[in-house]
A = this chain, B = another copy of it.
Amino acid sequence: MNGKAKAERKKTPRKRQVSGDTYFVIMAGGKGERFWPLSTELVPKPFVSITGKKTLIELTVERARRIVPLERIFVVLGREHLPVARKCLPRLPRGNFIIEPEGRDTAPCVGLAAMMLYRLNPNAVMVVLPSDHYVPDPAAFSRCIRETVKSARRGDHLVTIGVPPTRPETGYGYIKTGRKISEPSDADCFEVARYVEKPNLPKARRYLKDGGYFWNAGIFVWRAAVLLEGLKNHMSDLHSGLLDFYEALAAGDRATADAIFAGLRRVSIDYGLMEKATNVLVMPAPFTWDDVGTWTSLLRVLPKDETDNVLRGKTLTLDTDNCVIIADATPVATLGVSNLVIIASKNGILICDASKAQEVRQIAKALGKKQ
């Protein structure tokens, strides 16, 4: 870093960069079912403006961009989403879109990126981010990720970000923490006692009361080499499959490569590796985070009007409360309704009881079959 860059770093701390070995891997899969009608099969959730004007993936890249230059931000996605992804991220280098031949859950996705990064730079530290989560305070996010990167670069750990729960949420997985790490470099990290599947409400309440539990945010930080070592030890089928995949690619045989990838076991990185590995640490995340899993999660994350409605676009609400209303196409007027999700886009109009937002995928599926 030259003198001028150093000076700039002091003036604009949000532009401060971490080590040149740090890379972001943004996972942009998804079927676009739970956010119908705004999201569709061709334009799934990451590529849709859900929490504001910008698409979720734009916001995710912007968060990463505070920490590393665009050149070190990679997006893993399906081939069919490449056009819309390029539209959302026109400034991302074209080579930074990593095509996943088929969605096989997060373990193959993360492995694919790790192997690529390791070949690019054997010292690579990877930050793995979902592309469609909500983080309203990018500065707090940056501080946390920078700390975690520092820690991961120095050690042989698989670090996962744990969000301190603020409510008895039954829709997330939890991580029970173990011993606090004593080394100064890992000051804030904990060992992981165990992973906990989505709990029922009494359990979720207990976790909140007892403390020592974190939400599993699906954000990971590790050296690519450490991750690959973990895969080799705990998911040797995936590790050797990925080696074959890259070999076929190197030979210019994309059809074989695709077939190999499609044959990989469909499994999440949590289930396949994190729950088995002994070198996992959890880093508490002092930032607001939400997975924005359904339309009703907007009632949590967006500002509400005086009768608890989240409104966007041209709306007129009379005697209406606790509704999410998005009028992206035609004006929406409501009268005497409560607890509804109303989404009007050019693709279609959804009217759904707030408690059924999880089932919106049924509609997307039914419409998919009709087409």
Question: Residues of A with Cβ closer than 8 Å to B?
Answer: 36-37, 316, 318-319, 327, 329-337, 340, 342, 344-353, 355-356, 359-360, 362-363, 366-367, 370
Contact between A333 and B356, CB atoms less than 8 A apart: no
Report how far A355 CA is from B353 CA in the complex, Å.
18
Distance (whole angstroms) from the CB of A24 to the closest CB of chain B: 36
Contact between A352 and B335, CB atoms less than 8 A apart: yes
A-B CB contact pairs (8 Å), 11 listed? A318-B362, A330-B345, A330-B347, A333-B351, A333-B367, A334-B350, A336-B356, A337-B340, A340-B351, A342-B349, A351-B351
Report how far A69 CA is from B287 CA in the complex, Å.
77
| Chain copies in complex | 2
Distance (whole angstroms) from the CB of A283 to the closest CB of chain B: 38
Q: Please, which residues of chain B bring their CB within 8 A of the CB of A350? A: 333-335
Q: Please, which residues of chain B bring their CB within 8 A of the CB of A346? A: 330
Report how far A319 CA is from B350 CA in the complex, Å.
13
Report how far A360 CA is from B346 CA in the complex, Å.
24
Contact of A349 among B336, B344, B355, B362 (CB under 8 A): B344
Determine which residue in A331, A333, A363 has the highest number of CB atoms from chain B within 10 A of its CB, and name it. Answer: A333
Report how far A243 CA is from B340 CA in the complex, Å.
56
Q: Please, which residues of chain B bring their CB within 8 A of the CB of A329? A: 330
